[in-house]
Chains A and B, each alone.
Chain A
Amino acid sequence: MKQLLVLGAGSGGTMVANRMRRRLGADWMITVVDPAALHLYQPGLLFLPFGANDEAAMLRPRRRTLSSGVAWIEGGVTAVDPLHRSVKLHDGQNLTYDFLVVASGARLRFDMTPGLDDGRARGDVHDFYSLEGAQALRTALAGFGGGRLVVNVVEMPIKCPVAPLEFLFLADAFFTRRGMRDKVELVYATPLDSAFTRPLCAKHMQHLLAQKGIALEREFAAGEVDAEHKLLRSYDQRELAYDLLVSIPTHSGAAFVEDSGLGNELAFLPTHKQTLQVEGQERLFALGDATALPSSKAGSVAHFQAEVLETNLLEAIAGRAPKPEFDGHANCFVETGHGKAMLIDFNYDVDPLPGRYPIAGLGPFSLLSESRMNHLGKLAFRWLYWNGLLPGRPIPVSARLSMSGKRLEFASPSASQTQGS
């Protein structure tokens, strides 16, 4: 019996395992390893701090998200040994594989910024990138009497790079609705030199921030938190006082990636940009947040990568070279508050452009501009996630970026990216 082993059953790992189950015969066993008993719908986290309480719809038992022909081991990975094609688990078990897919995602590393954990213990520092964090922030916002709320991205890369902006837009709407917007100062402190990583989109985002009276602190590389005095301090000694700090901490890859000597400086896996093969490793592939790719760490990206990986695993199993199919395609709804959202669609080389999506001229979604329909799309997406994406059913959106419906007159001649410090 041959073995396809998948480490991590988040969006990427689950999609790959389910897709491959349909493509591989009974002589192949597919096993996923993941320590968590529940699968969390992460896009839902954004809405919890502002009063949503649909946690029940955001969680599903892991077993229900995997097809019946996929085995699941509930456990953690200690190390990968590519030389012997084996994986050691926390309980001492050794698994061998013919091909390995690393889909172990990203970890939130509050511990990497001095003072963050102290601030969290005191109750002034929160996050919305974890279920417990988003729930605690919901309580904190409900009781917030006013003052300065700072949203800080410690460093790139982070999951869903638009989420901090969405959080601020929703916070503006939330405090407006409660009749206390004038008592709350909203500040976005980012290590980037603009509000977003791509120029045209950054301009739109900056316009929205200004319109909503949200202050932007650029090139702010957070070095430490003085929790006692409620100060966020940058490496170049700039200080930002806060009453409530919403931190998006440093992200890193899984500990076993680091311990196996496979990761970069943040334990993300150096992976071929187009084939998704781990650099220098013939039988290792990676997708989703676990990679060091310059693509977004987002569910849509993991979905497009899963399609490419399905092709390339089959190629590799047949003894052929993997195909350079992945183009960095990402597709994100951006909540802008008051029941509206924006949609952006881009890849390694093409910036988010205005237009209609997915059908040229018709939409129903509008690119790079706010609409009610985009917001409804974002909400409807949860159904599609559980019933279309995770099971790996075909959906009518192409894995590669399509230029159809995009207004090319806004395209820059060379897709230059702005970047962090």
Chain B
Amino acid sequence: MVSEAVATPMPTRDVDGFLCDSAQWTPALAEALAREVGMTLTPEHWQVLTFCREDFARQGVSPGVRRVAQLSGIDMKALYRLFPKGPGKLAAKLAGIPKPKSCL
């Protein structure tokens, strides 16, 4: 545990646990964040996280869950299996990008 904490120092996060600065994200950090919520990242998880980061870089906003389901190659049902409860939120958190805003 101790050596792991040294290996991936945790950057500043907001009250909901999202990174304050997405530039501080690393793949190792995603693994550490996943462990915090009892998850182990598989290649399917990585496909989603990679899409989220790329889409955020292109669009400047975090993708909503429908956008992820439509464009990441992982469908809605699988997203809920991979990222239980709130895939949009959880994937964004692990990808180190801001909490996706939903419309009012």
Contacts and interface: CB of A to CB of B under 8 A. Distances in A.
A223 B76 contact: yes
A67 interface: no
Nearest to A348: B104
Contacts of B67: 264-265
B76 A193 contact: no
Contact of A223 (B77, B84, B89): B77
Interface string A114-134: 000000000000000000000
Nearest to B76: A235
Interface residues of B, number: 25
A242 to B, nearest CB: 21
Contact of B102 (A157, A223, A265, A416): A157
A277 interface: no
Contacts of A157: 102-104
A287 to B, nearest CB: 15
Contacts of B100: 419
A221 B80 contact: yes
B3 interface: no
A421 B85 contact: yes
A146 interface: no
A330 B85 CA distance: 30
B65 A421 contact: yes
B80 A295 contact: no
A197 B80 contact: no
Contacts of A135: none
B102 A420 contact: yes
B104 A197 contact: yes
A385 B10 CA distance: 54
B104 A420 contact: no
A150 B70 CA distance: 28
B103 A294 contact: yes
Interface in B63-90: 64-67, 70-71, 76-77, 79-81, 84-89
B66 A419 contact: no
Contacts of A198: 104
Nearest to B61: A294
Contact of A265 (B16, B70, B81, B89): B70
A421 B89 contact: yes
A421 B71 CA distance: 16
A157 B80 CA distance: 19
A161 B104 contact: yes
Interface in A379-421: 416-421
User: Which of A156, A193, A297, A419 is most buried by chain B, counting CB atoms within 10 A of its CB?
Assistant: A419
Given A193-B86, A223-B76, A417 B71 contact: no
B77 A330 contact: no
B99 interface: yes
B86 A294 contact: no
A284 B62 CA distance: 25
B80 A296 contact: no
Contacts of A223: 76-77, 80
B59 to A, nearest CB: 9
Nearest to A418: B102
A235 B79 CA distance: 9
Nearest to A332: B104
Nearest to B65: A421
Contact of B88 (A161, A234, A330, A420): A420
Contacts of A416: 15-16
Contacts of A156: 102-103
Interface in A257-305: 264-266, 293-297
A273 to B, nearest CB: 11
Contact of B64 (A235, A293, A420): A420
B101 interface: yes
Contact of B99 (A234, A297, A330, A419): A419
A416 B99 CA distance: 10
A236 interface: yes
B32 to A, nearest CB: 23
**Which 3 A-B residue pairs are closest in the complex by CB-CB distance?**
A157-B103, A235-B80, A419-B102
Interface of A: 155-157, 161, 192-193, 197-198, 219, 221, 223, 234-236, 264-266, 293-297, 330, 416-421
28 contacts: A155-B66, A156-B103, A157-B103, A193-B86, A197-B103, A198-B104, A219-B86, A221-B76, A221-B80, A223-B76, A223-B77, A235-B76, A236-B80, A236-B81, A236-B84, A236-B85, A265-B66, A265-B67, A296-B104, A417-B101, A417-B104, A418-B102, A419-B100, A419-B102, A420-B64, A420-B65, A421-B65, A421-B86
Given A418-B102, A421-B86, 15 more contacts: A156-B103, A197-B104, A221-B76, A235-B76, A266-B66, A293-B103, A294-B103, A416-B15, A419-B89, A419-B99, A419-B101, A420-B64, A420-B88, A421-B65, A421-B85
